[in-house]
Amino acid sequence: MKTVVSGIRPTGNLHLGNYFGALKNFIKMQETERCFFFIADYHSLTTHPDPKLLGTNVRNVLTEYLAAGLDPEKSTIFIQSDQPEVAELSLLLSMHAYIGELERTASFKDKMRKQPENVNAGLLTYPILMAADILIHRPDLVPVGKDQEQHLEMTRKYARRFNSIYGVDFFPEPAAYNFGTELVKIPGLDGSGKMGKSEGNGIYLADTDEQIRKKVMRATTDSGPTEMNSVVSEPVENIFTLMNIVSEKSAVESFRTDYANCSIRYGDLKKQLSEDIIKSVAPIRERILEIKGNEKYLRDVTEFGAQKARESARETIKQVREIMGLRKI
C-alpha cells in the first residue's frame, strides 16, 4: 500500500482546476492507498486573509472535498493547523534550505510581482512548509496539478539533502502524481494560462447550471479557421482540453473534424462543453448543499482526521529529532 499526501489552500471555492488537476486523483486513490488530505490554512496566511473569512473558507473547502467524494472513513482528512507538528518539521528543515534557492522559486517570484507590498518571510519559506506537509507522512505519491511541479522537486531535494547530511535513509523522495501519467494544467477559458482563483477565471464546483453556461458561452475563441487542417489557436485548444476531460471522445473528435474542414460552429462547441461540465459537476453541487451547514458533521470529520494525522506526524517528528541530535538528557 502506498502513502499519499496532498493539500489545497482555502482561498475560495474549488474550481475545475482543483478538481480535475488533483482532487479526482485523491478520490480514486483513497480506495486502495493510505491517504492524507489537508486544507493548508497556514499557507493561506501568506496573503493576510481576513480572520473572519478564513474560517468560512476552510469550512467551504472541507464541504466541497467531502461532496466531491473524499471519505473520512477511507482517508485522513484534516486541517493543517490542527497538526502543529508540521510547523516544527518546517523549522527543522529550514536549517538546510538556502535563501538563494528559495528566492529562485517561480511561485515566490510571481508573488513578488503580484503583491510587492507584502513580500513576507512566509512567502519565501512557503516551499519549506510544503515540503514539511508532505514529508511528515513520508509518502510515495503527491497528486497535484502541473503548477506544483517545482514545489515537489524542492521537496525531493530537501528529503535527499536531509538523508545525505545525516547519513540516513529516512525521508522518501515522493513523486508528483496523476493517473493520466502527465501532470495536468486545466486552462482558463479566457484565452491563455491556467484556471485559478487568483486568475479570476474559475468555473466552480458550486456554480449553478446557469452560471456554468454563462461562463462557457463567454469563453474566448478566434474568428474561425479559414484554411483546411490549420493549427488550432490557443483559446480554442483550451476549450478542447477541457472537453477531453469532460466529454465523450466521439464528441471531441467530431468537433476536431469540423475544425479541420472549417465547418466548426463555436456556439455548438461551447454548448456541448457547458452541458458536459454540468453533467460532471451537478451531482457534486447537490451534495455540497446537503453537507453545507452540518457543523457537527464537519467538526467530527476534522477532529477524527486531526487525531489520525497527528499520530503519524508525531512518529516522524520523534525520529527526526533523534536523527538531528535533539535528544532527551
Interface ranges with ligand TYM (CB under 6 A): 5-9, 17-18, 21-22, 40, 43, 130, 133-134, 142, 144-145, 147-148, 151, 184-186, 194-196
Please, what is the minimum distance in Å from the beta carbon of residue 229 to ligand TYM?
Answer: 29
Establish whether 328 is a catalytic residue. no
Helices (H), 125-265: 126-135, 149-166, 209-217, 234-246, 249-260
Taking the C-alpha atoms of residue 7 and residue 271, their distance in angstroms, rounded to an integer, is 33
Taking the C-alpha atoms of residue 269 and residue 216, their distance in angstroms, rounded to an integer, is 10
Check 197, 271, 292, 308 and give the catalytic one. 197
Please, what is the minimum distance in Å from the beta carbon of residue 131 to ligand TYM?
Answer: 8
Establish whether 197 is a catalytic residue. yes
Please, what is the minimum distance in Å from the beta carbon of residue 12 to ligand TYM?
Answer: 9
Q: Residue 189 has what DSSP assignment?
A: S
Nearer of residues 105 and 274 to ligand TYM, judged by Cβ: 105
Nearer of residues 33 and 264 to ligand TYM, judged by Cβ: 33
Please, what is the minimum distance in Å from the beta carbon of residue 326 to ligand TYM?
Answer: 24
Nearer of residues 5 and 288 to ligand TYM, judged by Cβ: 5
- Other beta carbons within 10 angstroms of residue 209's beta carbon come to 14
Establish whether 279 is a catalytic residue. no
Check 24, 111, 215, 270 and give the catalytic one. 111
- Other beta carbons within 10 angstroms of residue 187's beta carbon come to 23
Check 74, 146, 185, 194 and give the catalytic one. 194
Taking the C-alpha atoms of residue 317 and residue 319, their distance in angstroms, rounded to an integer, is 5
What are all long-range contacts of 47-50, with beta carbons under 8 Å and residues at least 24 apart? Answer: 47/11, 47/115, 47/118, 48/118, 49/11
Nearer of residues 118 and 294 to ligand TYM, judged by Cβ: 118
Residues classed as catalytic? 111, 194, 197
